[in-house]
Amino acid sequence: MDLSGKVAVVTGASSGLGKAFSMALHHEGMTVFGLARRKDRLDEMAKVLGERFVAVECDVTDDESLQKAFAHVGKTMDRLDVLVNNAGLGQFGDFEALTPEQLDVQLDTNVRGLIRASQLAVPTMAAQAQKNGGLGGHIVNIASVAGLVGNPQISVYNATKFAVRGVSEAMMKELRPQGIKVTCFYPGSVETEFADVAGSKGNPDAMHAEDLADTLVHVLKAPRRYLISEVVMRPMTVKG
Ligand X SMILES: NC(=O)c1ccc[n+]([C@@H]2O[C@H](COP(=O)([O-])OP(=O)(O)OC[C@H]3O[C@@H](n4cnc5c(N)ncnc54)[C@H](OP(=O)(O)O)[C@@H]3O)[C@@H](O)[C@H]2O)c1
Which residues of the chain form contacts with ligand X (CB under 6 A)? 11-18, 36-38, 58-61, 86-90, 109, 142, 144, 187, 189-190, 192-194, 197
H-run or E-run covering 19: helix 16-27
Please, what is the Cα angle at 82 between 168 and 69, to 5 degrees? 95
CA distance 204 to 202: 6
β-strand partners of 142: 185
186 is catalytic: no
Considering beta carbons, is residue 118 or 128 the nearer one to ligand X? 118
CA distance 115 to 226: 24
Residue tagged active-site, from 21, 53, 157, 185: 157
Considering beta carbons, is residue 37 or 72 the nearer one to ligand X? 37
**Least CB distance from residue 39 to ligand X, whole Å?**
8
**Least CB distance from residue 49 to ligand X, whole Å?**
15
Considering beta carbons, is residue 128 or 160 the nearer one to ligand X? 160
Beta strands in the chain (DSSP E): 7-11, 31-36, 53-57, 82-85, 137-142, 180-187, 230-233
The answer to whether 120 and 67 have CB atoms below 8 angstroms apart is yes
Task: List the one residue out of 41, 75, 44 whose CA is nearest residue 58.
Answer: 41
**Least CB distance from residue 91 to ligand X, whole Å?**
11
**Least CB distance from residue 4 to ligand X, whole Å?**
25
Considering beta carbons, is residue 124 or 144 the nearer one to ligand X? 144
Task: List the one residue out of 34, 67, 83 whose CA is nearest residue 181.
Answer: 83
For the annotated catalytic residues, the residue numbers are 157
